[in-house]
Structure 1
Amino acid sequence: MRPSSPFRVARTPMRPLALAMLAALAVACSSGEPGAAPEGAPAPAVIAPAEPAAVAMATDDLASKAQQAVADNRIYAPEGDNAIEFYLAQREREPTGEASAEAALIELQPYAMMAAEQAIAGADFPEAERLIALMVRIDATAPSLARLREDLDAARNAQAAALAAAAEAAAEAAATPTPTTTPPPATRPAPAPRPSAEPPSRAPATAVRTPSPAPAPARPANPAQAAAAPAQRPAATPATPARPAPAAGPLVPVSTPFPPFPSEAIARGRSMGSVTVRFTVRANGRVADVRVVEARPEGLFERTVIDTLGEWRFEPGAGDRTETRTFNFRN
């Protein structure tokens, strides 16, 4: 954040100024001319506009603050106190003479891009917008900006759809009446039978059949045959074998162009280099979380690899996959 300089206010004694204003009002009322001030009245105080922070801070101070922020790992955050914003202020102050600030911004832009991707994945949309705005200030023509904006819009739409579905489900649950249990009607006891004058007739006797005992199992004539006969057991039902999970097939590329040879490397006289990166291929076929594992030399070929991988597309798969690729450059 650029330090703001205080407003510079011309100090005028308050009591003489008030008396002068009252005198001007009296003269205006008596003469019929609104707003006429008497001759010799002091001029009102003038408030000077605030000075920009970059004007008040020397270029060397901006460079030292940016280097200290890099050493403290304040690359893109917190807002107003990070290396990218200090380098931007340095470049904006001397746009044609600060080549070191431009080179530093080129190296730090991939970190802002990865942080924006993480903010989108975590549904931190204000932070994602801030980081995208930083990337626009660094290079408004970066090819990864369009992809980041698409991912941000898709994440917002998905969150809005989820909230709408949850609200609709809650409304349906509130509108559905809760069933109430109605107790069964009470039954009255049957009246007791009245005694009869006639003696009760005897019920005819019924023959009760005694169940015959179950026949005893026949014993084998030869005890040896009984020992040799296998015991009959119920056949066990064979267990259904578990189906193996389908193996993840190979990635099917849709658009995987090779990163172009950077012009900065040509300007520095570099004719070859290599970059090894690790990235994640999402289920929708897009590439995210690109991280540089190794770069030779450092600071020349990483940006073109990260920007190009942001445009790669694969056929949608069953889930996220992590891949490692090495790009060898030769001009």
Structure 2
Amino acid sequence: MDTRYSYIAHRRVRGAARPVVIAIVAIVVALAAAAWFLIVRPYREQMQLDAGGVPTVPAAGNTQAATSAAPANLQALDVNQLLDEASKALKQQRYLAPAGNNAFEFYLRVLAKQPGNPVATSALRETFPYAASDAEQAVNSRSFDEAQREIDLLAKADPANFTLTILRSKLDAQRKLADQQQEQAQNQQKAAQLAAEKAAADKAEAAKQAEQQQAQQAQVAEQAKAKQQKVAEQPQSTQPQSTQAATPAAATGQTTGAVLVKRAQANYPTAALRANQSGWVLVGFTVTADGRTSDVHVVDAQPRHVFDRAATEAVSRYRFTPAMRDGNPVESTSQQRIEFSTGH
């Protein structure tokens, strides 16, 4: 029994110690990782930069770093000086830009002076992805000339890299899209200009038609006024229409029509005179056997009910020589048109 209890006690002690061991191992691993990222890795990268190499990742926060001035005479720089300039450009993330003062151009000049230079070759290979990212940003921002220059620079460093195919495709697509948008904007501008010109032409045509219509209306009014004035100036007949149509009786004839012997002037209505209104009235009436008028009425008038009363009153005062039949006076009917004009 004592042996069994002792075994159980040992197992409990080992079970309690296991979490402590795991915690210690985790602390050691964390410290090792921190030492790698905080001490070892920065040290190696700094050594690589000093040797003319490139960092494993872009340095954060350097995208706005001040750009060093380009060397005055690049042709006079030797390999070591070009590597120094390239190292400065890498630190400032000047992979492809500005033109003439970037890491890729410096390394390519090194290879031109010393083909196969390991530092330049390694740097171009390791820096290529970051430089390609800069070129892609130039494409996306539609800086087409700059993007083309950077892609051509990448092609000098690694002409067989598949990334170049992707960048060229994106550049071509962006150029086509920009051309389409520019063409669409031009078409819209042209359509707006045509619409404005059409609206102006329609407005001018409408104004012209309105002017012509006003001129026609004025001409019609002038013609109507001239016609009314002409009618008013014509001398009125001193005989009713029936007597004008009648054949004059011979001296020895026994049948004649009624003959007007006394005419009465119609009074112009005051309201019509003030309104400068003209018109006429056709009056029908009966000439009695004693030469007076009766059954005086309006047959037609223009305008209606304006000059009716003045016309009928005037005809009521007419006097006739009555119509004769077989030598005896008889009644007869007749009509008289009376004109009213302000120019009369």
TM-score, normalising length: structure 1: 0.39
TM-score, normalising length: structure 2: 0.38
